[in-house]
Amino acid sequence: MVQTIQGTLDGNGRKFAIAIARFNSLVTDRLRDGAIDALTRHGVAADDIRVVWVPGAFELPVVCRWLADTDADAVIALGAVIRGSTTHYDHVCNQAARGILDASVQSGKPVSFGVLTCETLEQALERAGSKAGNKGADAALAALEMLAVKSAL
Ligand code: INI
């Protein structure tokens, strides 16, 4: 018989850390609100959520790694990278994505990727609580699901 494992979304008793970039905080504030709302609606106590600000998305990987070494069960990385007129955007996006993945794989804890990579501020705002949902909430749900998968294995 096939054994199928799927994570449920029960945050009771779980501890979360949110690493959040201050750059484009108009957007990242909304991603944080979405993440906290998703966590608390799935049973996570507000006292079990820690929010840690860093300057920009480039700084997210190391703080995610530091947070993975704390008592947090999972980490949620939130940022908003918006393309400018140079290649700076590509470096920030690529390194943030790779570094956040590394923090997860190296620590063995879920570190979810709630970093928007957009062409315009309008696109970012659409994904931060308006017509394209809230990617902070999506990242929170991914972290919850991964915790359940980890527990089930
Ligand atoms: N950081 C972001 O989070 N979003 C951006 O759009 C962005 N842009 O476009 O420059 C950005 N740059 C700052 C970077 O993340 C670092 O904080 C900075 O380079 C210092 O290390």
pLDDT tier, 7 (very low <50, low <70, confident <90, very high otherwise): confident
105, burial (CB in 10 Å: exposed 0-12, middle 13-18, buried 19+):
exposed
Give the contacts of 110 (CB within 8 A, at least 6 positions apart): 73, 74, 75, 104, 142, 143, 146, 147, 150
Q: Whose CA is nearest to atom 11 of ligand 1?
A: 56
Six token digits for residue 82: 């918006």
Q: Per-residue pLDDT for 84 more than 90?
A: no
Write the Ramachandran bin of 20: left for phi over 0, alpha for psi from -120 to 50, otherwise beta. beta
Between the two ends of the chain, the Cα-to-Cα distance in Å is 17
b/e map 47-58, b = 16+ CB within 10 Å: ebbeebebebbb
Q: Whose CA is nearest to atom 6 of ligand 1?
A: 81
Mean pLDDT value across residues 14-20: 98
Residue 15 φ/ψ, nearest 5 degrees: -110, 135
Examine the residue annotation and report whether 91 is marked as an active-site residue of this protein: no
pLDDT tier, 82 (very low <50, low <70, confident <90, very high otherwise): very high
Mutate to test the pocket of ligand 1, among 26, 58, 82, 113 (most ligand atoms within 8 A of CB): 58
The pocket around ligand 1, CB under 6 angstroms, is made up of 21, 23-24, 55-59, 79-82, 84, 88-89, 92
Q: Which of 88, 98, 120, 121 is catalytic?
A: 88
Give the tens place of pLDDT for each residue, 44-72: 999 999 999 999 999 999 999 999 999 99
125: amino acid identity, one letter: L
Q: Whose CA is nearest to atom 1 of ligand 1?
A: 56
Q: Per-residue pLDDT for 31 more than 90?
A: yes
